[in-house]
Amino acid sequence: MTGPDVVVHRDGGLLAAGTAARLITALVDAQAARGTAALVLTGGRTGAAVLEQVRDSPARDAVDWSRVDLYWGDERFLPAGHADRNETQSRAALLDHVPVDPARVHAVEPSDGRFGDDPDAAAAAYAEVLTASGGVPAFDVLLLGVGEEGHVASIFPDSPAVHERERTAIAVRDCPKPPPTRVSLSLPAIRHAREVWLMTTGEAKAEAVAGALAGASEVDLPAAGATGLHRTLWLLDTAAAKRL
């Protein structure tokens, strides 16, 4: 893999629209090459905005949505249907509007699901989902937001999650951002993706973006450790790119 690519858009709206167009093309290309596509979704405002742009795109039906496997990079460990769950937001933004195969929508168990209020059991079950076909999938595209302190998924600086090397999905407690309990892919699982796309906007993210692209330690800036097998793509607005 070569070094990361960086694309800077004028503002967050253009970033969402441009990323949606890229995503549709990537899924179509993956299906042309392999018959199916595997996509990892993210939460947050930018993640939802990208999915809304896909939903509203005239090209969205170029994707055979029944042949897309959908996963989440992390999930807030909350009851099913809770407005703050990434799954809930992704469904409202896109998944409820396209003909996905329910069997291919791989959501993290909620806090009122099969395992009750046990995030470790939910994480272990998600790890089994990931390896059901013999190993962690080589996701075609894995979408990530980036936090002000450089976190990705629910992997925060110098947290137990950033030091994880064996498990693919982990319970995360005491997150510095609410809600405190989550389930997240680990960095080793993220690095199974063919392409990792890191999306972020705003001047508050500029220092973390610059540090990660300058080669900071993933312990200090987890975004620095989120790399794809074939491509790592940073999608920024001008404010987030200010220190590059």
* pLDDT for residue 50 is more than 90: yes
Domain ranges in the chain are 5-237
Q: How many secondary structure helices (H) and strands (E) does the chain include?
A: 6, 9
Distance between alpha carbon 2 and the CA centroid of its chain, in Å? Answer: 21
CATH code at 5-237: 3.40.50.1360
Mean pLDDT of 55-62: 98
144 forms beta bridges with 198
229 forms beta bridges with none
Mean pLDDT of 73-81: 98
The Cα–Cα gap between 209 and 215 comes to 10
Kindly indicate the confidence band of residue 242, based on its pLDDT and cuts at 50, 70 and 90: very high
Kindly indicate the confidence band of residue 134, based on its pLDDT and cuts at 50, 70 and 90: confident
For all residues of the chain together, what is the average pLDDT?
97
* pLDDT for residue 13 is more than 80: yes
- DSSP E strands in 96-227: the ranges are 141-145, 169-172, 182-185, 195-200
* Region at 71 (left for phi over 0; alpha for psi -120 to 50; beta for the rest): beta
Mean pLDDT of 37-53: 97
The Cα–Cα gap between 29 and 115 comes to 37
Mean pLDDT of 213-227: 98
CA distances to 58, 92, 114, 129, 230 from 43, rounded to whole Å, are 23, 12, 23, 20, 23
The Cα–Cα gap between 98 and 228 comes to 27
Mean pLDDT of 222-240: 98
* Per-residue pLDDT tens over the stretch 150-208: 999 999 999 999 999 999 999 999 999 899 999 999 999 999 999 999 999 999 999 99
Look at strands 74-76 and 182-185 and give their pairing. antiparallel
* pLDDT for residue 1 is more than 90: no
For the question of whether the overall pTM of this predicted structure is more than 0.95, the answer is yes
